[in-house]
Amino acid sequence: MKFKKSKILAAASVLTLSALLAACGGEDEQQTTTKDGKTIVTWWGWAPQPEAGKAVVDAFNKSQDKYSVEFKRYSEDYEKQLQVAMLSGKGPDIIGLKEPMIQQYKDRVVPVDSYMDKAAGDGWKDKFVELGIEQTTLDGTQYAVPIGFTGQAYLMYNKTMLDKYGVTPPKNYKETVDAVKKIKASGDKVIPLMLGAKDAWIDIDVYNVLSHQVAPGYIQKVLSGEAKWTDDEMVKTAQVWQDLFEDKVFQEGALGLATYNDGMNQFFDKKAAMWVIGSWEAHSMTTAEKKDKWKIDDELGFAPLPNLVGGTEQPIIASIDMALGVNKESKQQEGAAEFIAFMSQGEGQEVYMGEFEMAPGIKDVTIDSDSAFTSEGEKKSYKMLNDTLAEAVASRGIRDTKLNDILGKELQNIATGQDPKEALQRVQDTADKSAK
């Protein structure tokens, strides 16, 4: 019976994949030129937000007469949609890549040096923040062009609410616990510190940051295979992580709530005073977005995650949140390269960074934040985000997807009370298998 069931499941899986591929292949052939004769270049990604994507695409399309970029944003299941499209030969000309995806797609994209010299001119690489080049390069070959950075972990806070409770953004464990107690003591039904721990990605980010508080840089040795997940430094970090749940520093039921949309809605509905989130939410501080989207007048702000292990340093980890690659199967590689050069250098960077979703991927970009943030506190928060990202201690990403998945799962197990060392042993077992 087990054999028959396995065969049925396997057949079902094949049929499901076949249906997906057929759906892609069955679509009408895409139009290749616009009405005014421009060659259409397609770009897919999970980011940027629609408004930001439109702004940069419009700027590029107006800048020249040969190409017209069309952006398709997938708010959910981007990686699955991309994988299916690439398997069917229907992938986009320009592929949006997160850092961990570069390993997966390195054989499906054109090496960067082969087109950026022509599209961007001599010295293009020198303009980039070094961390971006490092994170888009594997074994000496660069496969994608870094566009912008995001970092973790930060507290986004409602200053208007904190002022009401007599609280300032905490910098250490004692201040964090005191802030939580003060807000709870008010009697208001407000979550003091919101974490969407249902999402493994944010759990991994916070654990990563905590590890740099416990033993700066040690997790990098673990990821490179020089040290183990079961070493005292990593177990102590896991214990700190567990204590934050047991001590109710994070809200009750944190493991059942997602960052988006649970945490976001709680924060912007003023049902949470502080929210653990990344630098990409800077755009939510802009006066226009607060007024038009969130309908609030409160002053918002950002602060680095407090040092929760007894020290004073508040380290930040950062990664290229979006990189762009040229599809090897694209018939519009030249147009794709022209857009990537525009997006990553000069005018395109200024337009996109003016949407305040990411920190710049290149070193010298002029961004007018004064007109976007009318509060002095919000202006200072935005400057702090860019300053701390520029001094990030390490990368956010874990390139081994199996290791990433098991770590996320075990951090959630640890948060429920499971033994930290036993959980990390399972992570180490996965790391050992990957190394063979």
Can the peptide bond before residue 153 be classed as cis, meaning omega within 30 degrees of 0?
yes
Does position 3 have pLDDT exceeding 50, yes or no?
no
> Helix, strand, coil % (nearest 5) of the chain?
50, 15, 35
Report the C-alpha gap between 27 and 30 in whole angstroms. 8
pLDDT of residue 321: 85
Report the C-alpha gap between 208 and 153 in whole angstroms. 9
Q: Rounded mean pLDDT of 188-204?
A: 96
Instruction: Look at residue 280 and tell me if it is in a domain.
Output: yes
Instruction: Look at residue 386 and tell me if it is in a domain.
Output: no
Residues 285 and 163 in one domain: yes
Instruction: Look at residue 4 and tell me if it is in a domain.
Output: no
Cβ neighbours of residue 202 closer than 8 Å, sequence gap 6 or more: 152, 153, 195, 196, 259, 276, 277
Can the peptide bond before residue 420 be classed as cis, meaning omega within 30 degrees of 0?
no
Partners of 73 in the β-ladder? 45
DSSP letter, residue 29: P
pLDDT of residue 75: 80
Neighbours of 208 (CB within 10 A): 24
Residue-wise pLDDT tens digits, 256-292: 999 998 999 999 999 999 999 999 999 999 998 998 8
Cβ neighbours of residue 123 closer than 8 Å, sequence gap 6 or more: none
**CA–centroid distance for 429 within its chain:** 27
Residues 306 and 343 in one domain: no
Neighbours of 387 (CB within 10 A): 11
Does position 14 have pLDDT exceeding 90, yes or no?
no
Where does a domain end: 348, 367, 386? 367
Instruction: Look at residue 385 and tell me if it is in a domain.
Output: no
**CA–centroid distance for 394 within its chain:** 14
Residues 187 and 220 in one domain: yes
Work out whether strand 317-326 and strand 145-152 pair parallel, antiparallel, or are unpaired.
Answer: antiparallel
Report the C-alpha gap between 77 and 288 in whole angstroms. 29
Instruction: Look at residue 23 and tell me if it is in a domain.
Output: no
Q: Please report which confidence band the pLDDT of residue 16 belongs to, taking 50, 70 and 90 as the band edges.
A: very low
Residues 81 and 183 in one domain: no
Instruction: Look at residue 10 and tell me if it is in a domain.
Output: no
Residue-wise pLDDT tens digits, 306-318: 999 988 999 999 9
C-alpha distances in Å from residue 423, one per residue of 42, 160, 232, 331, 417: 43, 40, 13, 48, 10
Q: Rounded mean pLDDT of 149-172?
A: 96
Does position 8 have pLDDT exceeding 70, yes or no?
no
Q: Please report which confidence band the pLDDT of residue 155 belongs to, taking 50, 70 and 90 as the band edges.
A: very high
Does position 31 have pLDDT exceeding 60, yes or no?
yes
pLDDT of residue 6: 36
Q: Rounded mean pLDDT of 225-253?
A: 97
Instruction: Look at residue 185 and tell me if it is in a domain.
Output: yes
Q: What would the two tokens of residue 131 be? A: 């961390």
Which amino acid is it at 130?
E
pLDDT of residue 84: 95
For 159-187, the DSSP string reads HHHHHHHT-----BHHHHHHHHHHHHHT-
Residues 159 and 246 in one domain: yes
Note whether 322 and 48 are within 8 A (CB). yes
Does position 34 have pLDDT exceeding 50, yes or no?
yes
C-alpha distances in Å from residue 235, one per residue of 220, 242, 332, 404: 15, 10, 50, 17
Burial class (CB in 10 A: 0-12, 13-18, 19+), 248: middle
Report the C-alpha gap between 81 and 372 in whole angstroms. 34
pLDDT of residue 32: 86
Residues 70 and 40 in one domain: yes
Higher pLDDT, 396 or 20: 396
- State the average pLDDT for the chain: 89
Residues 140 and 119 in one domain: yes
Residues 96 and 142 in one domain: yes
Report the C-alpha gap between 419 and 87 in whole angstroms. 41
Residues 349 and 425 in one domain: no
Instruction: Look at residue 16 and tell me if it is in a domain.
Output: no
pLDDT of residue 245: 97
Residues 311 and 422 in one domain: yes
pTM above 0.85, yes or no: no
Q: Rounded mean pLDDT of 396-400?
A: 82
**Number of domains forming the structure of the chain:** 2
CATH value at residue 251: 3.40.190.10
Half-sphere exposure for 329 (CA within 13 Å, toward CB): 13
Query: How open is the CA angle 369-370-372, to the nearest 5 degrees?
Result: 65
Residues 36 and 71 in one domain: yes
C-alpha distances in Å from residue 144, one per residue of 94, 107, 162, 258, 306: 10, 11, 42, 30, 33
Residue-wise pLDDT tens digits, 92-135: 999 999 888 898 999 999 999 999 999 998 899 999 988 889 99
Report the C-alpha gap between 333 and 108 in whole angstroms. 13
For 391-414, the DSSP string reads T--B-S--S-HHHHHHHHHHHHHH
pLDDT of residue 30: 61
Q: Please report which confidence band the pLDDT of residue 21 belongs to, taking 50, 70 and 90 as the band edges.
A: very low
What are the start-end ranges of the H helices in 259-375? 264-268, 287-289, 333-344, 346-353
Domain that holds residue 252: 154-315+394-435
Note whether 247 and 173 are within 8 A (CB). no
Cα-Cα-Cα-Cα dihedral sign, residues 366, 302, 100, 215: positive
Q: What would the two tokens of residue 432 be? A: 């050992």
Residue-wise pLDDT tens digits, 319-376: 888 999 999 999 999 999 999 999 998 788 989 988 888 888 888 777 777 888 889 9
Residues 101 and 33 in one domain: yes
